[in-house]
Amino acid sequence: MKLDLTLPAAETVTGAVAQPVAPLSAKGADLIARTLVEIGIDTVFCYPGGANLEMLDALSRVDIALVRTEHEQGSVFGAQGYARATGKLGVCLATSGPGATNLVTGIADAASDSVPILAITGNVATHWLGKNAFQEVDIVAVTRPVTKLARQVREARDIPAALREAAACALAGRPGPVLLDFPKDIQQARPDQPTDKRFTAPVPAGMSDETAERIAALLAASERPVIYAGGGVIASGTSAQLVALAEALDCPVALTMMGLGAMPDDHPLLLGPLGMHGAHAANVAVNEADLVLALGVRFDDRVIGDPASFARYARIVHVDVDAAEIGKNKPVTLGVHADLRDAFAGLLAHAKRREVPQWHAYLRERRAAHPLRPVQNAGDGAGQDRGDVLTGVDVITALAALLPREAVVTTGVGQHQMWAMQHLRLREPRTFLSSAGFGTMGFGLPAAIGAKVALPNVPVIDIDGDGSLNMSVNELSTCRRYGLGVKVLVINNQWLGMVRQWQDMIYARNRVASSLVDPNAPDAADDGRPYPDFVTIAAGYGVAGARVTRAADLPGALARMLADPGEPYLLDVLVAREDDVYPMIPAGKTYRDVVFGPGQAAGPIAAGAF
């Protein structure tokens, strides 16, 4: 069912004489609108301005829903949420100058997490380019380092071909962002014979049978194998093949944050997420393995820590659609440039079950010794019974128990993001949408809007922090305007929590600029009215909300939040102010340096302990 995004009558300008709609012309803006329809675009997230009004006018006359956000960054994150939740191309539209530059953070975020979006910008007329005209910027030069393709279209006849090429590029191989910039006179021009080329994006060669046999031989010789899988599995739609391969090999699996949902969280071979705040058993597995099969990952620094120490005893086989990632951060034994859809076929054809009972038993022991579980380490405000103080993990665990498996969760960035990664019950791909590689605060709410537009009948919940939500809380207006039933769950500890945690651990508790309490009422967080008051802010946007300060009230409050799927709702939950995220491997350290709680460490884990 397509969501009805027709603006309410209250937004209609009154007092104007109704004019008949002119028939579609062959203006450049109309070519843009028509071509977007032809390539399958049904939604554009936008914000209007002088240099994109021609395009908006044309888009209003075709079968494309226009979702106006409250900031251009909301538009690009809305396009991301749409793309991440569906695998389809997300599209955003901005004006020139500040409108265009407000997209840059979201474009860079999409590049980091391999999200296919098309950013369209208007610009000043071609005869004003390079002359510092009003709201002019060379957005192509600005975004070229963080896009797969960035181009300014200088001839109206090239519009259809440029759009088809950009869309094909965004979706081909390793997905990512592209940008097209249209000067205003190009939007207004009427070309006689527009070109309309079709593009077939190049794909990497499939995995050869010889290579598949070589990988199978390495696996057959392994005593301690592990599969390390990431966002490439989600992007390629090969989650089922990942599960089948793990079962065929009887091989444990560790997932990156971008790979969460690729394997059901209750699968016995899944060790959980790995990395700085990952499951201890997952980090042990990849670091003490003798064979690491890396599928669709990029060996991110938050996963591998010290590159020289990561998986130092293992042969590493890296399969990736992006050849540039192979060997970039970590030397590998065998690099395979292939689409995972082709690679899995070869891997499954040659998979042979390898019985490694001692390896499985060892990893079970590691998991039992240090499971991902709440750590009661928090102190809170005066006057509260510590037994009734909520932690972020309490809140997310309670939410997870209520969500259907198809529910989509977005997050902001910070402690709440890590708790969500650790404690949600993720059983389907494309159900956990988070800014993993770029770590962009403010991502959660606009990404949830994009996901809800794409999937109107699926529950969409933004788990956010008070600091992260404060960067995009204005997008509650977008939820209200279009009747989007996004639920916002605020894990509110009155800090930039992850910043404060690092300051405590590394900078001798010098908490510079990380407190979020009211500077004129430093005890405000203790009286049940945090600063800012998100419930009151939500009401100002016409969105219902409530606040929870006691653990006993949480189940009922969560049930009320989820009760009406069609209405946006904000639940502000005050949690222990100084709760920390554990386990944690300090930056640049190894899994042997893991900290499990305040004043705790892993104990003497010898190199190659298995």
| Cα four-point dihedral sign 279, 283, 286, 289 | negative
Cα separations in angstroms, 240 against 261, 396, 429: 11, 27, 10
Q: How many CB atoms lie within 10 A of CB 516?
A: 21
How many residues are listed for the chain in this entry? 610
Q: Which of 45, 54, 70, 72 is catalytic?
A: 72
Q: Tell me if residue 72 is catalytic.
A: yes
In the set 2, 38, 134, 352, the catalytic residue is: 134
135 has catalytic annotation: yes
> In degrees rounded to 5, what are phi and psi of residue 457?
-100, 5
State yes or no: is 165 an active-site residue.
no
* Catalytic hit among 148, 184, 330, 487: 184
The DSSP string of 53-95 is HHHHHHHTTSS-EEEE-SSHHHHHHHHHHHHHHHSSPEEEEE-
Contacts of residue 231, defined as CB under 8 A and 6 or more positions apart, other chains included, come to 113, 114, 256, 258, 259, 296, 297, 436
Could you give the C-alpha distances from 538 to 280, 528, 543, 544, 556, in angstroms and in order? 39, 17, 5, 7, 20
Give the active site residue among 88, 135, 247, 589.
Answer: 135
Q: How many CB atoms neighbour CB 206 within 10 A?
A: 16
Contact 428, 446 (CB under 8 A): no
- Given the residues 498, 501, 534, 561, select the one marked as catalytic: 498
134 is catalytic: yes
The residues, ordered by sequence, that sit 6+ positions from 527 with a Cβ below 8 Å of its Cβ are none
Residues 6+ apart with CB under 8 A from 23: none
**Which residue in 78, 110, 111 sits closest to 92, CA to CA?**
78
Distance CA 277, CA 299 (A): 15
- Which residues form the catalytic set? 72, 134-135, 184, 498
